[in-house]
Amino acid sequence: MRQVLPQDSRVTGGAKETMDQCIVQFSTALVRAATQECRRDRRLTITADDLIVGFANLGLADYVQPMSVYLRLYRETVNNQQQAVAPPSPTVQRGTTTAVPPPPPNLTLQLGLPSVPDVTELARDTDVYALWHGAAPAAGSTSASSVAPMPPPAADGDEDE
Tell me the per-residue pLDDT of 97-128, one tens digit each, with 9 for 90 and over.
Answer: 666 677 777 766 655 555 555 656 666 666 66
Confirm or reject CATH 1.10.20.10 for domain 13-85, answering yes or no: yes
What is the average per-residue pLDDT within 58-73?
A: 91
Q: Domain limits of the chain? A: 13-85, 112-144
Q: Is residue 144 classed as helix, strand or coil in its secondary structure?
A: coil
- Residues of the chain with pLDDT > 90, as a percent, come to 27
Helix axes 48-57, 13-40, angle to 10 degrees: 110
pTM score of the predicted model: 0.46
